[in-house]
């Protein structure tokens, strides 16, 4: 955690160096859209349904050997989603060094919710892979992404190009830290008896009473994720000077958010009972790895020069 705060301090310091240089402040507002899907890997201790002791009238009847023996946490499946479009706003403070500029920014963006079907991974274990026959066709396994609000502290380095007396273009790159805050959810609903759950093929024979308890059951999680990640960006824009110290413009930014890891997330329910593993005691938790993803913003920029030479 200290490394992130040190990074923020360095970024702020860089943006305020060389007090003799001309400075400016800027405000930007616009639209944001996801440029890539977010790939999610899920790691947990997974057992076949028939291992669940809480499904049996007598828990001691549940098998404890074979596929039901204790396991290590492993990659169970993968998720994929694409956040909806959203908005963003940012404040910036920068300094001018001839045709170069260095600016520090604070940006806040908000994306719309998204819900997608889960492209389930296969583990190679037939007892686990057999679960694919259990899911209800009326509500296939899905994941959801809600309430993403991201705060970004970054430094941009820009190179200006004069196009005309009142017009100026620029390109640049940036680096910083993103603070993410969102909710991630998953749902797995099993077939009901009416949908044919009792006819689902299993690697072993297990009691009908236990199958009836499993039929129509739900496994779900809705986890609040608050994590930090490194971010970098490439940007380009054009400004029109409308006065000695004021300009209006348009800026496009392509931003990449680094990997985000979120560990020991407790599920809401497992097979419609308490969120525990097959032994009926151990909490059912997962580790999530949200792979690096990117988004694009396009916004209007107002810039006010506050020192040094004027145009």
Q: How far is CA 37 from CA 58, 150, 206, 281, in A?
A: 45, 17, 40, 36
Report the C-alpha gap between 150 and 178 in whole angstroms: 7
Residue 262 has pLDDT above 50, yes or no: yes
What does the pLDDT average to over 250-275? 97
- Among candidate residues 247, 271, 251, the one with its CA nearest the CA of residue 167: 247
Over residues 114-161, the pLDDT tens digits come to: 888 886 655 555 556 678 889 999 999 999 998 788 999 999 999 999
Report the C-alpha gap between 236 and 257 in whole angstroms: 18
pLDDT value of residue 115? 85
* φ/ψ (deg, to 5) at 279: -75, -5
Report the C-alpha gap between 79 and 71 in whole angstroms: 22
Is pLDDT larger for residue 307 or for residue 2? 307
Confidence band, pLDDT 50/70/90 cuts, at residue 310 = very low
Report the C-alpha gap between 157 and 234 in whole angstroms: 10
- Among candidate residues 248, 199, 219, the one with its CA nearest the CA of residue 49: 219
| CB neighbourhood size of 203 (10 A) | 15
CATH number of 2-305: 2.40.160.20
- Among candidate residues 213, 236, 83, the one with its CA nearest the CA of residue 156: 236
What does the pLDDT average to over 4-27? 63
Over residues 19-58, the pLDDT tens digits come to: 556 899 999 999 999 888 888 999 988 889 999 999 999 9
pLDDT value of residue 212? 97
Cβ–Cβ under 8 Å, residues 219 and 267: yes
Report the C-alpha gap between 174 and 31 in whole angstroms: 19
The DSSP code for 53 is G
Q: Which residues pair with 86 in a beta bridge?
A: 32, 111
Confidence band, pLDDT 50/70/90 cuts, at residue 16 = low
Residue 307 has pLDDT above 90, yes or no: no
The DSSP code for 84 is P
pLDDT value of residue 113? 87
Contacts 24+ apart (CB under 8 A), 270-276: 270/52, 270/219, 271/49, 271/52, 271/54, 271/55, 271/190, 271/213, 271/214, 271/217, 271/218, 271/219, 272/216, 272/217, 272/218, 272/219, 273/54, 273/217, 274/54, 276/54
| CB neighbourhood size of 235 (10 A) | 17
**Confidence (pTM):** 0.84
């Amino acid at each position: 955690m200290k490394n992130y705060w040190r990074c923020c301090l360095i970024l702020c310091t860089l943006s305020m160096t060389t007090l003799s240089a001309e400075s400016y402040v800027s405000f930007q507002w616009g639209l944001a859209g996801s440029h890539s899907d977010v790939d999610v890997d899920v790691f947990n201790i997974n057992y076949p349904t028939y291992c669940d002791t809480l499904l049996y009238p007598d828990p001691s009847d549940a098998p404890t050997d074979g596929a039901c023996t204790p396991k290590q946490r492993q990659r169970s499946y993968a998720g994929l989603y694409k956040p909806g479009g959203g908005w963003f706003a940012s404040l910036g403070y920068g300094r001018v060094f001839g045709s170069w500029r260095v600016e520090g920014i604070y940006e806040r963006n908000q994306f719309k919710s998204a819900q997608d079907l889960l492209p389930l991974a296969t583990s190679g274990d037939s007892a686990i892979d057999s679960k694919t026959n259990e899911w209800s066709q009326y509500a296939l396994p899905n994941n959801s992404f809600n309430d993403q609000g991201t705060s970004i502290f970054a430094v941009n380095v820009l190179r200006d190009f004069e196009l005309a007396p009142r017009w100026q273009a620029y390109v640049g790159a940036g680096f910083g830290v993103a603070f993410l805050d969102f909710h991630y959810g998953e749902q797995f609903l099993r077939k009901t008896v009416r949908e044919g759950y009792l006819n689902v093929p299993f690697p072993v024979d297990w009691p009908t009473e236990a199958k009836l308890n499993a039929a129509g059951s739900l496994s779900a999680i809705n986890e609040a994720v608050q994590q930090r990640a490194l971010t970098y960006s490439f940007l380009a824009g054009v400004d029109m000077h409308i006065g000695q110290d004021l300009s209006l413009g348009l800026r496009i930014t392509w931003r990449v958010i680094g990997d985000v890891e979120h560990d020991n997330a407790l599920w809401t329910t497992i097979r419609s009972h308490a969120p525990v593993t097959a032994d009926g005691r151990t909490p059912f938790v997962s580790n999530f790895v949200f792979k690096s993803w990117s988004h694009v913003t396009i916004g209007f920029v107002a810039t006010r020069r506050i020192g040094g030479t004027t145009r």
